[in-house]
Amino acid sequence: MSAPPLLITGAAGWLGRRLVAALRGEVPEAPAWSSAAPPALRCLLERREDAAALPEDRTLDLRHGDLRQPAALRAFCEKAGGAVLFHLAAVIHPRRSSREFEHVNVRGTAALLEAAEDAGVRRVVVMSSTSPVGTNPDPTHRFDETAPYRPYVGYGRSKMKVEQLAAAAAARGRLETVVVRAPWFYGPMQPARQSEWFRMIQRGDAPIVGGGDNVRSMAYLDNLCQGLILAAQHPAAAGQTYWVADRRPYSMNEIVDTVERLLRDEFDIPVTGRRLRLPGLAAKLAYATDWTLQRLGLYHQKIHVLSEMNKNIACRIDKAERELGYAPTVDLEEGMRRSLRWCVEHGVPLR
């Protein structure tokens, strides 16, 4: 009897494409899947044109559907008894309304978990975020898995509910669930917003809010894929939550300085050396505006991102290291180097 497929929602996204590559054995930093033969991958794509983002390979079973379509989710999970499902799909920055957080992230996850239970899926690895626990009280504080919920506006509330849905599914006893919390991630194949941020650093108008000493945990994509695969395979991970990130947090100054230095010294791209320095009040005003807009059902990506720019959002990865054997091997400098190299090789402008 053939092994059950591995199921992946959000497979055409930034992280999804890298996880597909990792599961195909194409990412050295990620562990190989434990089966003797490469696993069959069943990928859920929101739009038919998303197939172009994935390799042309007959071993990929591409299904089309939306988290808001329960029938499509049932079809995606059919005949997948004993399978592992990686649930990566989510709305992070809504195109239209902040209500998409509830409609897609929460209701969609509930429908997916129900479909997975009914189909006999064995384990679901649920991609979560820093946002359910909010922000650290100071630069020295680090979140661990016992941190209480203090969700950061709409996305944070939706991801808190997603985690609670996963816990409820596990409690019903028909499905194993593992929650992986990841911070700001980075790496090759980045979306346009990340490439624009590189260009902002090159031009000198990347914002530094406050002194820039606030710290952020980050996760290089290949480190994150390692954590996801370990969470999917380790028997003791069932019912657990894990932070997965680079080995240490970085200050905002260090992050911007690193990208600038690489642009100048390794890619021969001139940089201005300037920063768009804003007072901490700018983030406070952005937060108030973001909160108000989301209460009205609206969303503005740049305002939301600005509201976070002076926040400390940092975690510890001790539990993943201890229980899963997680060992991140790529740090900020090497990860940004690879990201910039990918831009150069694929004709993405950096100035």
CA distances from 301 to 71, 92, 97, 192, 327 (A): 31, 9, 11, 13, 33
Residue 3 confidence (pLDDT): 82
Q: In angstroms, rounded to a whole number, what is the distance separating the alpha carbons of residues 70 and 113?
A: 10
Q: What is the mean pLDDT of residues 4-25?
A: 93
List beta partners, residue 220: 186
Of 14, 83, 7, the closest CA to residue 225 belongs to: 14
- What the block records as the tokens of 334 is 């090497």
Confidence class for position 49, pLDDT limits 50, 70, 90: confident
Q: In angstroms, rounded to a whole number, what is the distance separating the alpha carbons of residues 237 and 324?
A: 8
Percent of the chain with pLDDT over 90: 87
CA distances from 95 to 266, 318, 351 (A): 36, 36, 26
Residue 37 confidence (pLDDT): 66
Confidence class for position 15, pLDDT limits 50, 70, 90: very high
Confidence class for position 298, pLDDT limits 50, 70, 90: very high
Q: In angstroms, rounded to a whole number, what is the distance separating the alpha carbons of residues 318 and 231?
A: 14
Residue 36 confidence (pLDDT): 61
Residue 208 has φ and ψ, to the nearest 5°, of -115, 115
- Residue 98's Cα: distance from chain center in Å? 19
The residue length of the chain stands at 351
User: pLDDT tens digits, residue range 166-195?
Assistant: 999 999 999 999 999 999 999 998 888 899
Give alpha helix (H) positions in 173-278. Answer: 192-203, 221-233, 252-265
Q: Could you count the other beta carbons within 10 Å of the beta carbon of residue 33? A: 20
Helix axes 221-233, 14-23, angle to 10 degrees: 60
Percent of the chain with pLDDT over 70: 99
- What the block records as the tokens of 123 is 């384990």
Tell me which of 196 and 37 has the higher pLDDT.
Answer: 196
Looking at the chain, the number of H-run helices and the number of E-run strands are 12, 13
> Is the confidence at residue 1, as pLDDT, over 60?
no
Of 324, 26, 351, 6, the closest CA to residue 188 belongs to: 26
- Which residues touch 146 (CB under 8 Å, ≥6 apart)? none
Which residue reads 């434990």 in tokens? 34
